[in-house]
Amino acid sequence: MSVAEKAPRAGARPVRARAPRFTDEHGRRIRGWELILRYVLLVVVLALTVGPFVWQLSTSLKGPTEDIFSSPPRFLPSHPTLHNYERVSETIPVWDYALNSLKVATANVVTNCVGSALAGYALARLRYRGRRVAALVFVLAMLVPAEGIIIAQFTTMRELGLNNTLVGVVLPGSIAAMNVLLMRNAFLNLPYEIEEAAYVDGANVWQRFLRIALPAVKGTLAVVAIFAFMGAWDDFLWPLIVLSDPSKFTLTIGLNYLHGTFANDERLVAAGTIIAVAPLIALFACLQRYFFRGVGEGAVKG
Partner 1 sequence: MATSTVPRTRSSRPARRPQRRPAFRIRRQLPTSPWLFAAPGLVVTGAFILYPFVSTVINSFTDRRTLIPGRFVGLANFRELLHDDMFWIGLRNSALYVAGVVPALVLLPLLLALLVQKNIPGITFFRSAFYTPVVASIVVVGLIWVWLLDERGLVNSLLETVGVGKVGFLSDQWLLLLSAMTVTVWKGLGYYMIIYLAALANVPRELHEAAAVDGAGAVRRFLTVTVPAIRSTMVLVAALSSVSAFKVFSEVYLLASPNGGPAGEDTTLVMLVQRTGTGLTGRVGYASAISLVVFAVTVVLMLLVLRADRREDS
Interface of this chain with partner 1, residues 113 to 132, rule: CB under 8 A: 114-116, 118-119, 121-123, 125-129, 131
**Cα Rg of the chain (Å, integer):** 26
Contact 275, 258 (CB under 8 A): no
CB 105 within 8 A of CB 283: no
For residue 269, the minimal CB distance to partner 1 (Å) is 6
**Is the Cβ of residue 217 or residue 230 nearer to partner 1 in the bound state?**
230
86 in contact with partner 1 (CB under 8 A): no
- Of 122-181, which residues contact partner 1 (CB under 8 A)? 122-123, 125-129, 131, 134, 137-138, 140-141, 144-145, 147-156, 158, 171-172, 174-175, 177, 180
Binding to partner 1 by residue 33, rule CB under 8 A? no
Q: Which of 11, 14, 161, 191 binds partner 1 (CB under 8 A)?
A: 191
188: amino acid identity, one letter = L
User: Does the footprint of partner 1 cover residue 83 (CB under 8 A)?
Assistant: no
DSSP conformational letter for 12:
T
Closer residue to partner 1 (CB): 15 or 49: 49
Q: Quote the least distance from Cβ 218 to partner 1, whole Å.
A: 19
Positions 215 through 254 that interact with partner 1 (CB under 8 A): 230, 233-237, 240-241, 251-252
Asked if 38 interacts with partner 1 (CB under 8 A), we say: yes
Contact 254, 99 (CB under 8 A): no
Q: Does 302 bind partner 1 (CB under 8 A)?
A: yes
Distant-in-sequence, close-in-space partners of 189: CB < 8 Å, separation ≥ 6: none
Work out which of 19, 70, 90, 161 binds partner 1, going by CB under 8 A. Answer: 70
* CA atoms of 39 and 237, how far apart (whole Å): 39
CA distance 157 to 171: 9
State residue 276 phi and psi, 5-degree precision: -75, -35
Does 17 interact with partner 1 (rule: CB under 8 A)? Answer: no
Distance, in Å, from the CA atom of 134 to the CA atom of 42, rounded to the nearest integer, reads: 47
Residues belonging to the chain: 302
Nearer to partner 1, 220 or 273 (CB): 273
Q: Which of 83-91, 102-110, 184-192, 216-224 is the region at the interface with partner 1 (rule: CB under 8 A)?
A: 184-192
Interface residue with partner 1, options 90, 204, 245, 286 (CB under 8 A): 204
Task: Determine, following the binding rule CB under 8 A, whether residue 53 of this chain makes contact with partner 1.
Answer: yes
Using the minimum distance from each CB to partner 1, give the nearer residue, 85 or 195. Answer: 195
Q: Where are the alpha helices (H) located in the chain, listed in sequence order?
A: 32-60, 83-91, 94-125, 131-143, 150-160, 166-170, 177-188, 192-200, 205-207, 214-216, 218-234, 237-242, 251-261, 266-286, 288-301
To partner 1, the closest distance from the beta carbon of 30 in angstroms equals: 7
